[in-house]
Amino acid sequence: MHPSRLDNSNLEQAPAPVSLIQAFWFWLKLGFISFGGPAGQIAIMHDELVERRRWISEKRFLHALNYCMLLPGPEAQQLATYLGWLMHRTWGGVLAGVLFVLPSLFILIALSWVYIAYGDVPVVAGVFYGIKPAVAAIVLHAAHRIGSRALKNSWMWAIAAASFVAIFALNVPFPLIVVSAALIGFVGGKFFPEKFNGSVAHSSARKSYGAALIDDHTPTPEHARFRKVRLAQVIAAGALLWLVPMGLLTAGLGWANTFTQMGWFFTKAALLTFGGAYAVLPYVYQGAVGHYGWLTPTQMIDGLALGETTPGPLIMVVAFVGFVGAYVQAAFGPEHAFMAGALAAALVTWFTFLPSFLFILAGGPLVESTHDDLKFTAPLLAITAAVVGVILNLALFFAYHVWWPDGFAGEFDGVSAALSLAATVALFVFKRSVMEVLGASALLGLLWVVLS
């Protein structure tokens, strides 16, 4: 138990104001400890900011989270950006959002290089041999977790089933599935509101942890009030931050160059991540593996495994995709392969996360103008239902490539199938965490490769 929870004498008095430097050190720490996917990351922020430090009240925290849940992109990173912006203006939001991502970028660049350079070393190969079967179970668990929240009636089940058939049997592009689901939700919300009246709101804010710096009735800070001029400035700045690097890439390297295409592709991916990283992974796979050939299906699975074991948003797997794609293609020549990979990882991270910052800095004042529940969530509910079918397809895709590494015509890998089953039981039956399952699977894979 935290010391601040033991002493109730000061709970009626708000904590001392927090400087930008103090906030900087907190957001940096969060970037290194934000394991556990969105749910774990949001729980850490709630524990630190609402319960222990009392920088923001429960109600205001959940109000911000509800908005982030409506957006495409990583909701935990967007929530950190929102809270940083609310406390310390634009620089606070930028610091919070960047520091949430930066540690995982550097860690993934290093791990991606180890994977490419030493992936055939028995120790490294053994670890990946154990992790890959667990990834299939983790993705299946994600489908179940989202489905249990989203599939509340027969309409949602039908949308999920249609989504699965569309991507599994008909190979329909993921963006088309998202647009179709949103349209169904929009129409369904108008004509069958009782079937599309779910909410993305989380549990009610009934609990008080004492007076907070930004409390339930704290007036909206001056910088968080909506102004048309400010909105135009943010949109213009965002357009410039996208156009300058994209323009330099196009002018210097050409539109067909790998780096330019990565920037364009991951910009589109950033706008399609309704439902989190698991939802956009099929789109990344379709493009990065199927269309561009930046990496192989096996490497895609390995990249997700690395993303699961590092702090930060799971969508940071895009850094692995960028690194491997540029490294293997030796975009700057064989002698500068690492430089090419590192630059590609940084570029795709920039284009993936830039929209998230714009959504918060542009939309935050609109959200702060009302503390009522957000409206018009029917399209989001339909998209979330469709995402369940897409993620189920992803789990089957991973299982197929792990259990039959050489295709159905090749040999069935019974050990990998057994590891997947064990990971599934650990997640569903024994409720073990993702990190625990990955750690045990890596150890078992290492033992199998070394001893066999």
Question: Would you state the pLDDT for residue 15?
Answer: 84
Question: Would you state the pLDDT for residue 377?
Answer: 63
pLDDT band at 36 (very low <50, low <70, confident <90, very high): low
What is the percentage of the chain residues whose pLDDT exceeds 90?
Answer: 40
Report the distance separating Cα 276 and Cα 339, nearest Å. Answer: 29
Question: Would you state the pLDDT for residue 258?
Answer: 93
> For residue 318, what is the enclosing H or E element?
helix 317-328
> Mean pLDDT of all residues in the chain?
85
More confident residue, 30 or 59: 30
Most confident by average pLDDT, 119-123, 133-137, 184-188, 237-241: 237-241
Which residues are CB-neighbours of 379 under 8 A, at least 6 positions away?
Answer: 181, 182, 183, 185, 186, 189
In angstroms, the Cα distances linking 378 to 157, 181, 190, 375 are 15, 10, 9, 9
Give the lowest-confidence range in 35-39, 215-219, 236-240.
35-39
Q: DSSP for 89-108?
A: HHHHHHHHHHHHHHHHHHHH
More confident residue, 419 or 118: 419
Question: Would you state the pLDDT for residue 407?
Answer: 80
Residue 184: inside a domain, yes or no?
Answer: yes
Question: Would you state the pLDDT for residue 61?
Answer: 85
Across the range 317-333, mean pLDDT stands at: 89
Give the lowest-confidence range in 268-277, 324-333, 441-450.
268-277
Residue 39: inside a domain, yes or no?
Answer: no
Report the distance separating Cα 448 and Cα 69, nearest Å. Answer: 41
pLDDT band at 212 (very low <50, low <70, confident <90, very high): confident
Residue 99: inside a domain, yes or no?
Answer: no
Closest CA to 63 of 218, 228, 182, 278: 218
Residue 246: inside a domain, yes or no?
Answer: yes
Question: Would you state the pLDDT for residue 21?
Answer: 95
Residue 263: inside a domain, yes or no?
Answer: yes
Condensed to tens digits (0 to 9), the pLDDT of residues 353-367 reads 999 999 999 988 887
Across the range 93-111, mean pLDDT stands at: 94
Q: ∠326-297-110 over CA atoms, to 5°?
A: 45
Question: Would you state the pLDDT for residue 6?
Answer: 43
Residue 14: inside a domain, yes or no?
Answer: no
Question: Would you state the pLDDT for residue 5?
Answer: 46
Q: DSSP for 337-375?
A: HHHHHHHHHHHHHHHHHHHHHHHHHHHHHHHHT--SPP-
Report the distance separating Cα 371 and Cα 86, nearest Å. Answer: 14
More confident residue, 197 or 53: 53
Condensed to tens digits (0 to 9), the pLDDT of residues 396-452 reads 888 888 899 888 888 999 999 999 999 999 999 998 887 788 889 989 999 998 888
The total of structural domains in the chain comes to: 1
Question: Would you state the pLDDT for residue 205?
Answer: 43
3-class SS letters over 54-86: CCECHHHHHHHHHHHHHCCCCHHHHHHHHHHHH
Residue 265: inside a domain, yes or no?
Answer: yes
In angstroms, the Cα distances linking 51 to 256, 272, 278 are 50, 33, 29
Residue 220: inside a domain, yes or no?
Answer: no
Q: Which residue intervals of 151-173 are DSSP H helices? A: 154-168
Question: Is residue 206's pLDDT more than 50?
Answer: no
The whole domain housing 402 covers 104-199+227-451
108: tokens are 């993934």
